Amino acid sequence: MILFYLLILSLPLVDHPQIGYEIHGITVEKLMGVACFFFALCYLPNRKSFPQILATGQARAFVMFTVMIVTSYTFMVTPFDWHELVGIIFAEPVFFIVTSIFIDSRQRLENSILALIAAIGLASLYLIREWVACVPVYGLGYRPGSVAGDPNLFSASALTVLPMMVAFALGQKGRKRAFCVGCLLATIFAILLASSRGGFIALVVLLLLQMRDARHRGKFAVIALVIVALFLISPVSPLDRLLHPTYSDTDSSDARLQLWSIAFRIIADHPILGVGLWQFTPYLHKYMPPGVDLEFHVPHNTYLQVAVELGLVGLALFFAMFFFALLNLSRLRRAAKKSGDAFMYSISTALGNGLIGFAIAAFFLSGMHARVFWFSIFLSTCLPAYLAKAPVKTAGAGANLETRAEEREHAPATTAEQQPTAVEAAREEQRTTKIADDIELRVDQLRIH
């Protein structure tokens, strides 16, 4: 499991020199992924039950999306490279399988989320260090983010995890709370330095979404006011780039509009299956007006990227993952509230808010392969199995898993003569509980956080 947590820790560190170090063409991160896969296969017989990998709609949509990616690369990309196919394209489905096997209890679910929080906290510290080192050379306006790919990608990944940091900071105690608060502060400061305008818009939406939780509304309001004040008074912030754009900011916005225009033209000419995985750049030169040379060679919009490369079919599958993930998390949140599972209520709410934050930030970057986003999708497929006391009816799943409490609530009234004795009622309740737990629930009876 330590190796699995280390792999989670590496997710936002896209261009880390040590993690990306190649040994005979294979990076350290890929070696960790292969080792985790084999360890997961060895661990599989020791699980209490076989993981229901395809139990949710978002899981099945992800599998179909992966099949489309592999098909697109195999038949539409030249020259064909087995290294790219095995080492890059299969990385996400293999990680999905590893996640589904290793996360087999609420404790491991919590540890995995803590590892993800630590990953964003570590990436934030790298960004802060980079900014401090480069300010004397490039000035206060320098935007760090090289270790995370770029500032926009870091901001999108950080916003995906930020609600989970808040949930753990409010719900944990002792060292765990201190750790999450530290990661939260470092992440907010790093988002400020990254100065992503799309990330700032997503952050505002996240703050509004967090206000839905009546239990901590006052605390969220204080956090929101502190963040807004920090972004207003800081000489370096995405808000300053929105209100007072420099020539570089304006030029970047104009380039994005041109890229989006070209992307729409490509989609109009190749609407169904697209032009093939990673083929936007070659087609960009074909559609670019003569004499025009753009600095960027990606659409800078995740949805246009998917539509260009995989067509409207691929875009529909991508949206299906979002739809089923958010719908199932919403149902899980309602079931957790009814059953009194405070831990699962907080996690399902935070994970859903984080996915919404990424969905907004994705309008302004090409993040189809953002690994933190994919891991969040994978986590959403694991949550329903570990809800305490009540099962969840998951969207996209064929089984009807209504809660027993709801069934009892709507059961017809009985007279005193029709009521069973206390012993019979107890035995019937035991039988019902055992059958439901064995067939439908398979939930862990751990302490509710």
Percent of the chain with pLDDT over 90: 49
Confidence bin at 347 (pLDDT 50/70/90): very high
Nearest Cα neighbor of 314 from 287, 285, 278, 288 is 278
Residue 339 DSSP SS3 = helix
| Average confidence (pLDDT) over 370-397 | 78
Region of poorest pLDDT, from 23-37, 302-316, 375-389: 23-37
Q: Which two tokens stand for residue 195?
A: 């100065």
Distance, CA of 261 to CA of 287 (rounded, Å):
10
Average confidence score pLDDT of the chain: 83
Region 66-72 average pLDDT: 91
Say whether pLDDT at 68 is over 70.
yes
Q: Between 91-102 and 28-43, two packed helices, what is the crossing angle to 10 degrees? A: 40
449 vs 283, higher pLDDT: 283
pLDDT at residue 193, as a whole number: 94
Q: CA 304, CA 298: separation in Å to the nearest integer?
A: 10
Helices (H) and strands (E) in the chain, counts: 18, 2
d(CA 29, CA 2): 14
What is the predicted pLDDT for the residue at 418? 39
pLDDT in tens, 34-60: 899 999 999 999 888 888 889 999 999
Which of 42-46, 59-63, 216-220, 367-371 has the highest average model confidence (pLDDT)? 59-63
The span from the CA of 259 to the CA of 269, in Å, is 16
362, pLDDT greater than 50:
yes
Amino acid at 424: E
Euclidean distance between CA atoms 242 and 380, whole angstroms: 33
CA 192 to chain centre: 21
Lowest mean pLDDT among 82-86, 146-150, 243-247, 273-277: 82-86
User: What are phi and psi for residue 23, nearest 5 degrees?
Assistant: -120, 105
Of 19-28, 176-185, 188-197, the one with minimum mean pLDDT is: 19-28
Please give the pLDDT value at position 432: 54
pLDDT number for residue 427 = 55
Determine the Cα–Cα distance for residues 102 and 382; give it in Å rounded to an integer. Answer: 10
Angle at 328 between CA 168 and CA 442, to 5 degrees: 80
Sort residue 366 into left (φ over 0), alpha (ψ -120 to 50) or beta: beta
Is residue 426 pLDDT above 60, yes or no? no
Residue 114 DSSP symbol: H
User: Which residue has tokens 């209520």?
Assistant: 345
CA distance 68 to 321: 14
d(CA 246, CA 101): 49
SS3 string, 141-195, reads CCCCCHHHCCHHHHHHHHHHHHHHHHHHHHHCCHHHHHHHHHHHHHHHHHHHHHC
Indicate the burial class of 205 (C-beta count within 10 angstroms; 0-12, 13-18, 19 or more). Answer: middle
> Distance between CA 228 and CA 225 in Å, rounded?
5
Nearest to 212 by CA among 355, 390, 333, 336: 333
pLDDT on residue 408? 37
Residue 395 — very low, low, confident or very high, per pLDDT cuts 50/70/90? Answer: low
Please check the confidence at residue 312 and state whether its pLDDT lies above 50.
yes
Residue 201 has pLDDT above 80, yes or no: yes
Q: What does the pLDDT read at residue 422?
A: 44
Residue 385: pLDDT over 90: no
Rounded to an integer, the average pLDDT of 340-356 is 92
Q: Rounded to an integer, what distance in angstroms lies between the CA atom of residue 441 and that of residue 391?
A: 6
* pLDDT of 442: 44
For the segment 327-345, what is each residue's pLDDT rounded down to a tens digit?
A: 999 999 999 988 888 889 9
Burial of 94 (C-beta count, 10 Å sphere; 0-12/13-18/19+)? middle
Q: For residue 284, give the nearest of 254, 312, 248, 258 by alpha carbon.
A: 258
N residues, the chain = 449
Question: What's the rounded Cα separation, in Å, for the pair 282 and 286?
Answer: 7
Question: What's this model's pTM, rounded to 2 decimal places?
Answer: 0.84
Return the CA Rg of the chain. Answer: 24
pLDDT band at 361 (very low <50, low <70, confident <90, very high): very high
Three-point CA angle 394, 397, 402, nearest 5°:
50
H-assigned helices in 234-301: 238-243, 247-269, 280-287
Residue 310, SS3?
Answer: helix
- Categorize the per-residue pLDDT at 296 as very low, low, confident or very high, splitting at 50, 70 and 90: confident
3-state helix, strand, coil in the chain (%, to 5): 70, 0, 30
| Residues 237-253 pLDDT 10s | 888 888 888 888 888 88
Tokens of 68: 């489309």
Q: 3-class DSSP state for residue 384?
A: helix
Decide: 184 and 166 in contact? Cβ < 8 Å.
yes
> 378 is written with which tokens?
């994978």
